Structure 1
């Protein structure tokens, strides 16, 4: 039998995702700042792309939090 759709804790879960994503973004940026002269162009590009995806995810999470809070 399928579980009922319990949305009561969606905002809390989304906020946890926001915190985790912000932490990953910060740590990646800190790594870039500390090791800029040691990393390859490929690694630099990979981290920058991931950080852009993280920023997009943060916007989506925050939008979804607002939607959930308004319901």
Structure 2
């Protein structure tokens, strides 16, 4: 079993945006969805992975978190 960074995908009220992905990234996203789907036992739509992946990336980006705290404390 692969140790993926994403777990269960939450069902949340979305805000729609449109992005263009390079073909290689799209293929990887399809593969990731397939692997995650096999591990979870349910079909995963690749587009549903984008938001949790971006959220995970931002949550682990120390520079972003530090800058966000600086901005938040400055606006209070």
TM range (shorter): 0.3 to 0.5
TM-score, structure 1 normalization: 0.35
Structure with higher Rg: it is 1
